[in-house]
Chains A and B, each alone.
Chain A
Amino acid sequence: MSHRGRGLLAATITVAALAALAACSPGATNDSGEANDTVTLVTHDSWSVPDEVIAAFEEESGYRLEVVPSGDAGALTNKLVLTKGNPLGDAVYGIDNTFATRAVDEGVLAEHVPADLPASAEQYRLEGAAGDQLTPVDWGDVCVNADDRWFAAHDLAPPRTLDDLLDPAYEGLLVTPGASSSSPGFAFLLATIGKYGVDGWQDYWTRLLDNGAKIVSDWSEAYEVDFTAGGGGGDRPLVVSYHSSPPFTIPEGERRPTTSALLETCFRQVEYAGVLEGAANPEGAKALVDFMVGETFQEALPENMYVVPVDDTVDLPPLWEKWARPAPHPITVPAEEIAEHRSEWIRAWSDVTAR
């Protein structure tokens, strides 16, 4: 090819490239003009709220709601920390009590407490400044679930406590998602820390693994592959899941679930909402947080996100009243302590479980 040819070729390609780039920029318009009538909510991937509820908010407040799912609670919190000052949205929902203090300490949130916070929500409020920034919206218990049908068929009484899980009778029966890669997995680790203390849990886990506990990377795998009642033909009748999981195992045409949650093994996760510091539309964000503790939103929580509303005057679905009862005395670890030791605990857990 002559040099002219090369030049022409290069030029043609450049033009083509520019044209292609231009062609695929469907209106790179700036939407800052509509910032004041839109409120943007940054949330986790499990966000799921019916259209009617969103419409109710939009009608009530006059704002249009835009939702930005941003990974699990951990990824969500860390994204907010990294984009501090120029946030991804106006309000956040889905920071839980295991990440709350990090978000508060990093100065990600602005102060706002809804005027009519339900009385029953007070007990979930964080202490100090954090309590004025994060509004509790809902909670749920992470508990070991047992496949009752399996235990009945094997003539074995299901375990009840964390201690029971070390009993040789239950050897090789438990599967749990890992604490380093899964939020219920971390909650289960916290249950053991709350129960056995900051110096005792390592020994518990060593013995748990000696008793054949299996660790997998996430909840859906534990439940859908290894759990006997999960549909994957697994061989482990004990799984770390939620207190709200049993109603999902009611067989077609029957009235009782085939599984139950072991209520003495539970750690309570509380989810919060808040207004982001530097929000383009702080008023809209406040209206949204207020709406989330209001009746319409609270009522939609159990059926759609499988969590319990903080407002205890809201009726739970009938199946929940019966089959998804929460732990009367969940195991707790103070939020500040979690924030301070989180990395250390996960690292130590990884060392204990690497074998």
Chain B
Amino acid sequence: MSPGGQKRYVALAAAAAAVPLAVLAVFFVVPVVGMLRLGFFPDGELDLGGVVETLARPRVGRVVWFTVWSASLATAVTVMLGVPVAYALHRLSFPGRRILRGLVAVPFVLPTVVVGVAFRTLLADAGPLGFLGLDGSAAGIVAALVFFNVSVVVRTVGPWWEAMDPRREEAAAALGATPLQVLRTVTLPALRPVVLSAASVVFLFCATAFGVVLTMGGLRYATVETEIYLLTTQFLDLRAAAALSVLQIVVVVVLLVVTGRTRPSPVERVTVDTVARRPRGTDLPALIVLGLALLLVVAPLGTLVVRSLRVDGGWSTEYYRALGDADASPALAVPVGTALENSLRIAVDATLVALTLGLVVAVLVTRRTRRPGPRRLLSLFDGIFMLPLGVSAVTVGFGLLVTLDRPPLDLRGSPWLVPVAQAMVALPLVVRTIVPVLRSIDERRREAAATLGAGPLRVLATVDLPVAWRPALAATGFAFAVSLGEFGATSFLARPDAPTLPVLVYQLVSRPGADNFGMALAASVVLGLVTAVVMLAVERLHLRGVGAF
């Protein structure tokens, strides 16, 4: 590269990086810093006494320890379930697997409060699974976390696995390796980057979950996130909340550095369109895990559907019919159809933003450079977009209220706050889905294509796209689902006259009366169904896409 070209490249890369960075700064950094400032400078002067005092409480140690071990355990279980499920749903061919792919994605978008009720209906002492004694236990918390996150692993690992060249495995088998040896020496090492990617996202989701911890733990367990929530919304103890937020950020950064370190050097990957094959005897373990995962997903979902259809001891679709009628309950600000429309419209915007920004980030961080300076800068750039997943939604939410209220950032009530805030949550998922794939492309292929006379767009279309389109579509569906289900930031920002479906569900649940409750359940079922249908539609899209490339 000529010195001039080098300079121009750096300038353009910096310009491209500036867009996502600016969005991150406005919607994440500014609010968080604003809340931390309120905590650290209570009367305009720096006061670290409160911070030290908070962190020295013996309770904090217990809380951090519980957060770390419950999130780690939940992540481990999620990965152990999710990887075989990804295999079964993306490499094997059997009737109904597309439907199952959609089904597995549903929990991800369901409102926590409703899932909590569904889980507790099953697990409470009088419930069908009451004999397990899981109600109000740490195991119950972990089970619910796994329920929510298993689709993260399936949808990140699946597309990668689908595009993995099976010939290496076949060669190993032909050379006499047992299926277990093939798995251990060929398949798993090839999956490592994407599994790590998925695991770090799942860990962050688990470590910052608070509704699940409160509901499933019966208030007996506290995580850093539930503490921040209580300190901010109940005690208004901003000093202690700020201290814990900083602690949370430190933990997240440490995690990102560690996973960044263990990132394996890229292996050359030949991508092919594998054809899913029928299950064989050796696939039995994967199918058993699939069955277990489906049980975990279907049991609470089934409970939800059943309860939404039970009216006064009989069966009825009354709650569903009431959803279309804004007069059915004064709690219903708008008919559910309108809320769904709001949700879908916002989700389209949020997906566009997340996908565009995600592609920019993914392309930038996967550029190869041998000099350590830029390389470190790039990995910092990579990690920084994971932060929103690991930092308290309460801190960000309250921060948005106190910082974006005056010029030049007078954004309160602005209609695009919601989609952009949701996009910030979806962005890390997009990046983590696409980065491992782009990283696996050998730079020499791009160089070879260019040497053979391909223009830059042509290189993009013939080298990058064939590999990246599948994960990019997976990421699209994902970003869409994140937006559909997002509640934390949305509840702070959604305009009252345009609530999203999850916001409406919360409004219904917070009111007494069996009708409101039944309608909340019915609305959640609708949300789940729409999600599954969208996921299936995205898959169709991607099938038709094959010919286009």
Residue numbers of A with Cβ under 8 A of B are: 1-11, 13-14, 16-18, 20-21, 23-28, 31, 45-46, 48-50, 66-69, 71-72, 74-75, 78-79, 81-83, 86, 88, 102, 178, 180-181, 214-221, 223-226, 230-235, 241-242, 244-245, 248, 251-252, 303-304, 306, 342-343, 346, 350, 353-355
Distance to closest chain A CB from B419 (angstroms): 5
B-chain residues with CB within 8 Å of residue A27 when the two chains form the complex? 415
Q: Are A217 and B116 in contact (CB under 8 A)?
A: yes
Give the docked Cα–Cα distance between A233 and B514 (Å).
13
Give the docked Cα–Cα distance between A243 and B8 (Å).
72
Q: Are A17 and B20 in contact (CB under 8 A)?
A: yes
Distance to closest chain B CB from A35 (angstroms): 12
Q: Are B218 and A216 in contact (CB under 8 A)?
A: yes
Binding-face segment, B45-53, B285-293, B371-379, B454-462: B454-462
Give the docked Cα–Cα distance between A214 and B136 (Å).
10
Q: Are A231 and B517 in contact (CB under 8 A)?
A: yes
Q: A241: which of B237, B329, B491, B512 is its contact (CB, 8 Å)?
A: B512
Question: Per-position contact with A for B505-527: 1 when CB-CB < 8 Å, else 0?
Answer: 01101111110011000000000
Q: Are A88 and B12 in contact (CB under 8 A)?
A: no
> Does any Cβ of A come within 8 Å of B235's Cβ?
yes
Q: Are A17 and B356 in contact (CB under 8 A)?
A: yes
A-chain residues with CB within 8 Å of residue B235 when the two chains form the complex? 342-343, 346
26 A-B contact pairs sorted by A residue (CB < 8 Å): A1-B450, A2-B450, A3-B8, A3-B9, A4-B456, A6-B456, A8-B457, A11-B12, A21-B353, A23-B349, A24-B353, A24-B416, A24-B419, A25-B415, A45-B507, A78-B236, A180-B230, A181-B214, A216-B218, A220-B509, A221-B215, A223-B512, A225-B121, A346-B234, A346-B235, A354-B220
Give the docked Cα–Cα distance between A113 and B429 (Å).
52
> Does any Cβ of A come within 8 Å of B219's Cβ?
yes
CB within 8 Å for A225 and B117 given contacts A1-B456, A3-B6, A13-B16: yes
> Does any Cβ of A come within 8 Å of B296's Cβ?
no
Q: Are B233 and A71 in contact (CB under 8 A)?
A: yes
CB within 8 Å for A8 and B456 given contacts A13-B16, A82-B38: yes
Q: Are B120 and A82 in contact (CB under 8 A)?
A: no
Give the docked Cα–Cα distance between A82 and B238 (Å).
10
Distance to closest chain A CB from B490 (angstroms): 12
> Does any Cβ of A come within 8 Å of B98's Cβ?
no
Give the docked Cα–Cα distance between A298 and B442 (Å).
72
A-chain residues with CB within 8 Å of residue B121 when the two chains form the complex? 225, 232-233
Q: Could you list 10 further interchain pairs (A-B, Cβ under 8 angstroms) beyond the known A3-B1, A216-B215, A225-B120?
A: A6-B12, A24-B349, A27-B415, A31-B413, A48-B511, A180-B219, A215-B219, A221-B117, A342-B235, A355-B220
Give the docked Cα–Cα distance between A187 and B413 (Å).
33
Give the docked Cα–Cα distance between A67 and B331 (Å).
13
A-chain residues with CB within 8 Å of residue B20 when the two chains form the complex? 17
Give the docked Cα–Cα distance between A161 and B329 (Å).
34
Q: Are B38 and A11 in contact (CB under 8 A)?
A: no
B-chain residues with CB within 8 Å of residue A224 when the two chains form the complex? 117, 517
Q: Are A217 and B219 in contact (CB under 8 A)?
A: yes
Question: In residues 402-432 of chain B, which contact A (Cβ within 8 Å)?
Answer: 402, 405-406, 412-416, 419-420
Question: In residues 1-35 of chain B, which contact A (Cβ within 8 Å)?
Answer: 1-2, 5-6, 8-9, 12-13, 15-16, 19-20, 23
Give the docked Cα–Cα distance between A11 and B457 (Å).
12
Give the docked Cα–Cα distance between A14 and B412 (Å).
26
Q: Are B512 and A245 in contact (CB under 8 A)?
A: yes
Binding-face segment, B69-77, B275-283, B358-366, B541-549: B358-366
Question: In residues 478-506 of chain B, which contact A (Cβ within 8 Å)?
Answer: 491, 496-497, 506
> Does any Cβ of A come within 8 Å of B232's Cβ?
yes
Residue numbers of B with Cβ under 8 A of A are: 1-2, 5-6, 8-9, 12-13, 15-16, 19-20, 23, 38, 113, 116-117, 120-121, 124-127, 136, 214-215, 218-220, 230, 232-237, 307, 310, 312, 329-331, 349-350, 352-353, 356-357, 359-360, 363-364, 367, 398, 401-402, 405-406, 412-416, 419-420, 443, 446-447, 449-450, 455-457, 459-460, 463, 491, 496-497, 506-507, 509-514, 517-518
Give the docked Cα–Cα distance between A27 and B415 (Å).
8
Q: Are B233 and A225 in contact (CB under 8 A)?
A: no
A-chain residues with CB within 8 Å of residue B2 when the two chains form the complex? 3
B-chain residues with CB within 8 Å of residue A2 when the two chains form the complex? 450, 456
A-chain residues with CB within 8 Å of residue B514 when the two chains form the complex? 230-231, 248
Q: A46: which of B218, B220, B496, B510 is its contact (CB, 8 Å)?
A: B510
The chain B residue with its CB closest to the CB of A22 is: B416
Q: Are A28 and B117 in contact (CB under 8 A)?
A: no
Q: Are A235 and B360 in contact (CB under 8 A)?
A: no
Q: Are A235 and B117 in contact (CB under 8 A)?
A: no
Give the docked Cα–Cα distance between A248 and B510 (Å).
15
Q: Are B456 and A9 in contact (CB under 8 A)?
A: yes
Give the docked Cα–Cα distance between A318 and B299 (Å).
42
Q: Are B416 and A220 in contact (CB under 8 A)?
A: no
Q: Are B116 and A74 in contact (CB under 8 A)?
A: no
Distance to closest chain B CB from A92 (angstroms): 14
A-chain residues with CB within 8 Å of residue B518 when the two chains form the complex? 231
A-chain residues with CB within 8 Å of residue B459 when the two chains form the complex? 1, 5
B-chain residues with CB within 8 Å of residue A217 when the two chains form the complex? 116, 214-215, 218-219
Distance to closest chain B CB from A271 (angstroms): 15
The chain A residue with its CB closest to the CB of B34 is: A82
B-chain residues with CB within 8 Å of residue A241 when the two chains form the complex? 512
Give the docked Cα–Cα distance between A25 and B2 (Å).
40
Q: Are A232 and B117 in contact (CB under 8 A)?
A: yes
Distance to closest chain A CB from B316 (angstroms): 11
The 5 closest A-B pairs by CB, nearest first: A5-B456, A235-B126, A24-B349, A48-B330, A217-B214
A-chain residues with CB within 8 Å of residue B218 when the two chains form the complex? 178, 214-217
B-chain residues with CB within 8 Å of residue A244 when the two chains form the complex? 512
B-chain residues with CB within 8 Å of residue A71 when the two chains form the complex? 233, 491
Q: Are B16 and A46 in contact (CB under 8 A)?
A: no
Give the docked Cα–Cα distance between A79 and B234 (Å).
11
Which of A1, A71, A221: most chain B Cβ within 10 A? A1
A-chain residues with CB within 8 Å of residue B352 when the two chains form the complex? 20, 23-24
